[in-house]
Amino acid sequence: MGNLAKLAKWLSEAGPVVVFTGAGASTESGLPDFRSAKGLWRRKDPRQLASTMALARNYEEFCRFYRWRIEALLAVQPNRVHRCLAGWEKNGLVSRVVTQNVDGFHQAAGQQVVTELHGTLRQVFCQTCGQVQPAQVFLERTACPECQGRLRPGVVLFGEALPEEAVRQAWQAAETARLLLVIGTSLEVSPANQLPHLTRRAGGKVVLVNAEPTAFDQAADLVLRGQAGEILAGVGRMLN
Ligand code: NAD
């Protein structure tokens, strides 16, 4: 049996599966990822710009960087990876998507149950009064309309802890998943990269869909190397 057929079989047999996505799920939309050859960070250093340090000490450049990312996000759309997963949720094949992405594409494609481990780029909030605004506001002003405090994006910055409730949901989902489908992540960012280990330790299967090798490849039950959109579309055809 080929790998696509194997995944299709496992998806239909495992009961609703948990999906774990990274930046590679969104590259087909035109959003660069962080670490592969064309990744964002080949041009910019994340520790300098997407960090608590930059927010505190280099606010101007921090804002320029995030305005650029918000503009890029607002110009693109979800792709067939997001649409495919939303369709599988409707058909009872997917119970939850846990994502490291901040683009909001899973929800935009209709996914109902989504855990955002690294926050969202769709909103900004005031560091002083906490007031939340749509990300578009940040393109025009960096001062809070309410109190003139500094606005910042709703993403988790390097140097910040992950949101507690999202961690709880993600850990619980990974530990109880009979199958964790991991899509488009280098699995280099901690602690999110612990999720496949949790599933394996609890006796569940882990399937990786990624364009490049990852450190978890040897431990996975199945590795599908290639473009996520093509692979999911192929599996989708077999499920129909
Ligand atoms: P990463 O850049 O470290 O890894 C992405 C992986 O996806 C790479 O291994 C790459 O080979 C693979 N990939 C790229 N395009 C692919 C495709 N079409 N099909 C299959 N695989 C593909 O990304 P990560 O592991 O998610 O890193 C984590 C950090 O990146 C997170 O903190 C996340 O917030 C951030 N990030 C998010 C976005 C977004 O929201 N769209 C974009 C860039 C970075």
Taking only the tens of pLDDT, the chain with its 240 residues reads 799 999 999 999 988 999 999 999 999 999 988 776 556 665 667 667 889 999 999 999 899 989 989 999 999 999 999 999 999 999 999 999 999 999 999 999 999 999 999 999 999 999 999 999 999 999 999 999 999 999 999 999 999 999 999 999 999 999 999 999 999 999 999 999 999 999 999 999 999 999 999 999 999 999 999 999 999 999 999 998
The pairing of strands 119-126 and 132-134 is antiparallel
**What's residue 1's pLDDT?**
78
Listed in sequence order, the residues at least 6 apart from 175 whose beta carbon sits closer than 8 Å to its beta carbon are 198, 199, 202
Kindly report the CA angle at 18 between 192 and 217, in degrees rounded to 5? 60
Is 104 near ligand 1, meaning CB less than 6 Å away?
Answer: no
Cα 7 to Cα 231: distance, rounded to the nearest angstrom: 10
* Active site (annotated) includes residue 118: yes
Cα 162 to Cα 170: distance, rounded to the nearest angstrom: 11
Ligand 1 atom index nearest CA of 187: 25
Give pTM, 2 decimals. 0.95
The pairing of strands 205-210 and 222-225 is parallel
The pairing of strands 119-126 and 151-155 is antiparallel
The alpha carbon of 93 and the centre of ligand 1 are apart by a number of angstroms equal to: 24
Ligand 1 atom index nearest CA of 121: 40
Q: What is the dihedral of CA 201, 172, 204, 91, to 10 degrees?
A: -170
Is residue 99 within 8 A of residue 33, CB to CB? The reply is no
Ligand 1 atom index nearest CA of 228: 19
The alpha carbon of 184 and the centre of ligand 1 are apart by a number of angstroms equal to: 6
Q: Which of 82, 106, 118, 197 is catalytic?
A: 118
**What's residue 48's pLDDT?**
75
Is 23 near ligand 1, meaning CB less than 6 Å away?
Answer: yes
**What's residue 179's pLDDT?**
98
Cα 24 to Cα 108: distance, rounded to the nearest angstrom: 17
C-alpha distances out from residue 139 to 54, 64, 96, 224, Å? 18, 9, 32, 39
**What's residue 15's pLDDT?**
84
The alpha carbon of 232 and the centre of ligand 1 are apart by a number of angstroms equal to: 16
